[in-house]
Amino acid sequence: MAYRENDKHFATKALHAGQEPEQWNSMAVVPPISLSTTFKQDAPADFKKYEYGRSGNPTRDVLEQCLASLDGAKHAMTFSSGLAATTTLTHLLSAGDHIVSMDDVYGGTNRYFRKVASRMNIETSFVDATDPAKIAEAIRPNTKMVWIETPTNPTLKVVDIRAVAEITKKHKDIFLVVDNTFESAYFQRPLELGADVSYYSLTKYMNGHTDVIMGAACTNDDDLHERLRFLQNAIGPVPSPFDCYLVNRSLKTLRVRMEEHQKNSLIVGRWLESHPSILSVRHPGLPSHPQHELVKSQCYGHSGMISFYLKGGLQESKTLLSALKVITLAESLGGYESLAELPYLMTHASIEEKERVALGVTDNLIRISVGLENVEDIISDLDQALKAAVK
């Protein structure tokens, strides 16, 4: 398969952007963790760079510089979680404004727009953004933000970022946010394709070690950056310096991790396609995916995310997941370990059942984050669990 040719300097940027030893008196090669909550001033309101830990922190700056470089952005801002970043982006809007969102999105995003933003008189229209015309049809005079996720969570639908960006750029007051969590900055860079904001739950692939909760927003728009930076300080959803240190560390291995995730998931995906207990497999990197050609035109590869429909229903799904031994039954994704879950009862349970089922989030849809284990061990585990679940 022929994806877009990736940036051959990506790994070098991950290792060196924002990491210069010369910025520290100690000349430390690994950026230190600055835990101080406050900083000495030469005179009242006369400080060198940092004033208070919420407003800025040296360790956070290092991470944000590295993130911006990897995403091809002028600016990156980090937040205490992915949903904290979602909340801050939504605070760019005012009461009476309108959002157009992809209908198949992370359950927490759906819940926030429907049950929290709505209380601030910010209405959201959910549409199938795989057809960009539906985005255009949903835009109103008061629309201020378009939010898409691609590939989507959990059915792995793919949205044409360029086509949606062409629509939003016709409206000067609308900005386009792309949730890039499933691909990471290594396999997809939405800003290159016309997005205004590239959004991440850094908790997932970007950190990749299942030990940090954090979010990020990257942009080339100076005005959006200035407004978001104000909100980052005014609302206060900032990450801890230690967590920033951990994510900065993790970015150093992002390229090698993502290549291994991709390799393993393709092998697992092909194996699942041939298994008699599987109805269908959703993997954007496989030719069987209905938008495979689009994936090749806007991505540099695909991560370890796979979803598949199991023959049977809720009981078979529960039996399968409970029988796994190498793969862990747990929410989240993108770590070095393989994880599996049932979105119908877990990550997307907050969405009304009728809507869940209409989106394809049924009781036999299994989501797997294929990790870095020996791929034969992953397949062997799936094989024994499938035998236990489907008779």
Question: Known catalytic residues?
Answer: 54, 106, 179, 204
CA-based diameter of the chain, in Å? 76
